Chain A
C-alpha cells in the first residue's frame, strides 16, 4: 500500500507540475481531469487496503465530479477564449522553478506531521501538500478567471489528497459537504464569470481592478 500510495501521490505531483507548465487551457483541463482520476485511484487504493468501503464511494464521486462534471463546466467558462494565450515571451519556466521550490517548502512544513505518526502513507503527505501549494501558486499567478478556478481546484485536490493520506478520509458528512461546496463554488464561479464576460467581453482579471483604496 505504501508503495502504491506513494506512487499515486508522486504521479499527482508530476501531473500538477505539468499543469503549471502547460499554457493551453484545454491541455490544462485534461491534466486536471487526470489529476482527479489519480486522486480517485488513491482513494480506492486506500479504501481497499484499509477496508473502508466509504472511500470507494468517495472515489466514485471524485471521478464523476472532478474528472467529468467540473472539467465540463470549466470548459464552458473557457469557451471563446483563445486556446493559447496570445502573450508573447511568456514562459512557464519561472513558475516551474517556484513550484519546485514549493515542493521543498511542503516537505519542510509537513515535517511535524510526518514525524508525528507512523502511517504507511506518510511519504505521500508532503507530496499532496505540495500539490495544494502549487494549486495556490496557480491561483495567485492566474491571469484569468479560468486560471483562478483551476488553481483553486488543484488546491482542493491537494488538500483532498492530504486528507486521504493523513487520515484515510474524513467523516462522511464532512466529505459530502466538501463535495457539495466544491460543486457549488464551481457553479457559482461559472455564473459570475459568465456575467463578467458579458460585461467585459473577456475573463482576464486585469480588467477587474476598479475597486481600490
Chain B
C-alpha cells in the first residue's frame, strides 16, 4: 500500500501541475516534494521493520536495496525540487514541473517494481520523461543534447531489452511459463539452475544497455551533453540518481547472473567498464573547460567507482558501491544546483569565464569549494569512506591491479578537478560581476546535504550501517 502511495504522489502531483497555475502550482509542487519525501521515509521504515513490502500482487516490491534507492531518489528530488523555482518559473504553466515529477515517478517505479520487464519500461520512461526537461532552454545546444540523449539512451535500453528477453527465454525454457517468471524474487530463486551460457550472453546485453543509462564508458557519450545543457535541478536529478538507477539494474542482474555463472564472469566485464569509465573521466577532467561538463564527467568517474565496487563484490564492495552512489548523489546534486546559480550570475558555463567565485558569491562560492572537495573524495566527507570501502573490496577480493589502476586514475581526476575549482573559486573576480547577497533560506537544503555528507564520512547516522547491510543482503538472500 505504501508503495502505491509512494508512486501515486509524484504521478498525481504531475497531473495536477499540468493544470495548476500560480499559487496553486506552488502549493502542489511543494506538497508533492514533501509528500514524496515522507512516503520514502515511510517505505524505509516499513522495510526496516518487515524486510520487504509488496503491493499490487507483488508487482511492486521494495526490499532494503529498493528502499535505499528510493531514499536517494527522494532526497535528491527534494533538493532539486527546492531549487527548481530559481531556475524555472513556477506557476506559469508549461511542461517543466509536470515532467519533473513524472521523471521522479519513473525512477521510483524502476526501483520499486519487482518485475524485470516493468523495470525496463520504467527506465525507458525515465528517458522519455526527461528529454524535454533537457531541452528546457530550447537553445541549439540543448536541442542537440536532447536529441543525442534520446537516441543513444533509446538504443542502449533497447539493447538491454535483448538481454531481458534472453533472461526470460532461459527462464521459460527451464521452468515453463511460470506466472511471475520475470520477477526478481523468482529469478533469484531459480537462477542457480538457469542456463549459464545464455545468462552470460544476456548479461552482456543488459550491461551494455543499462550501462548506457548508468553513463559507463564507452556508452557515456550522451551524458556530458545532456547534463551540461539541462537546467540545474534536472542535471542534479539525472546525475545524482538517474545514473544510479541504471547501475541499480546492472546490480540486480549481476546478482542473478552470479548465481548461475559464478562471480568472475560478471566481475570481469564490470571491472573493464569501470576502469574504462575512470580512464575516460580522468582524461576529460584533466583540463576541463566547461564546469557543467566537468561535473558530468565526474559523474562518469564516480559511477565507474561504484561499478568497480559492484565488480569487486563482497560486503565491502557492494556496500561501498551503494554508499558511493548515495554520497555521489548528494555531492553531485549540490554541485549541479550551485552551478545553476553560478551560471545565472556569470552568464556562462565556461570555467574561464568564472573567477573569484568566493568573493562574488560568498555562500555559493564556499559551498561550491566544499562540495568540490567532497566530490574529490576527501574526508571528512562520505565519498572518502565509500571509496575506501570499494578499494578495500578490490584488494580483498583479488582485484589488486584493477584497484591500483583505479586509484591512479582517481588521482589524475583529482588533479584536474582541483585545478578547475581553483580557477573558478579564487582569483580576481571579473569586473562585470558585483558581489551578490544571498538569502539564507536558499542555502538551507544545500547545507543540509553537505552536513549529511559529513555524517556519512565521519559518524554514520544510526541505522545507516544496518540499512546498508540489509541492502547488500537483499542481493544474495
Contacts and interface: CB of A to CB of B under 8 A. Distances in A.
Direct contact, A vs B (beta carbon within 8 Å): yes
Interface of A: 109-110, 112-113, 115-117, 119, 129, 132, 136, 139, 145, 148, 152, 155-156, 159, 162-163, 166-168, 170-171, 173-174, 177-178, 180-181, 184-185, 188-189, 191-193, 195-196, 199-200, 208, 210-211, 213
B202 to A, nearest CB: 9
Interface string B225-265: 10011000000000000000000000000000000000000
A167 B164 CA distance: 11
Contact of A116 (B144, B158, B197, B284): B197
Nearest to A200: B140
B143 A166 contact: no
A202 to B, nearest CB: 13
| Closest 6 A/B residue pairs (Cβ) | A174-B117, A177-B121, A112-B197, A166-B169, A117-B173, A208-B144
B256 to A, nearest CB: 16
Given A155-B155, A174-B121, A177-B121, A166 B166 contact: yes
Contact of B141 (A109, A166, A188, A211): A211
Nearest to A155: B158
A109 B169 contact: no
A98 B349 CA distance: 42
A195 B140 CA distance: 9
8 contacts: A136-B159, A168-B172, A177-B120, A181-B121, A184-B125, A188-B131, A210-B144, A211-B228
B144 A211 contact: yes
B201 A109 contact: yes
B115 A173 contact: yes
Contacts of B131: 188, 192
Contact of A174 (B120, B135, B158): B120
Given A117-B169, A174-B121, A177-B118, A152 B141 contact: no
Interface stretch (B145-153, B309-317, B326-334, B430-438): B145-153
Contact of A213 (B138, B143, B147, B284): B284
A178 B121 contact: yes
Contacts of B145: 211
Contacts of B173: 116-117, 119
Given A113-B198, A177-B118, A180-B121, A185 B150 contact: yes
A167 B121 contact: no
Given A117-B173, A173-B115, A184-B128, A192 B135 contact: yes
Contact of A148 (B120, B151, B198): B151
A132 B284 contact: no
B293 interface: yes
B419 interface: no
Given A163-B165, A166-B165, A192-B147, A199 B125 contact: no
Contacts of B155: 136, 139, 152, 155
Contacts of A112: 195, 197-198, 200-201
A173 B169 contact: no
Contacts of A173: 59, 115, 117-118
Contacts of A115: 197
Contact of B143 (A132, A184, A195): A195
Contacts of A167: 165, 168-169, 172
B154 interface: yes
B140 A210 contact: yes
Interface string B168-211: 11101100000001100000000000010110110000000000
B150 A188 contact: yes
B170 A116 contact: yes
B290 to A, nearest CB: 8
Looking at B135, B198, B224, B229, the one whose CB has the most chain A CB atoms below 10 A away is: B198
B147 A145 contact: yes
A174 B115 contact: yes
A116 B225 contact: no
Given A152-B151, A181-B128, A189-B150, A195 B138 contact: yes
A132 B209 CA distance: 14
B97 interface: no
B86 interface: no
B124 interface: yes
A199 B141 CA distance: 11
A167 B169 CA distance: 5
B162 A132 contact: yes
Nearest to B293: A213
A113 B143 CA distance: 40
A105 B417 CA distance: 42
Interface in B268-293: 284, 289, 293
Nearest to B122: A177
Contacts of A152: 151, 154-155, 158
A192 to B, nearest CB: 5
Contacts of A180: 121
A208 B145 CA distance: 9
Contacts of A200: 140
A152 B157 CA distance: 11
A162 B140 contact: no
A210 B141 contact: yes
Given A163-B165, A196-B143, A171 B117 contact: yes
B131 to A, nearest CB: 5
Contacts of A199: 140, 143
A174 B160 CA distance: 14
Contacts of B225: 211
Contacts of B381: none
Contacts of A116: 169-170, 173, 195, 197-198
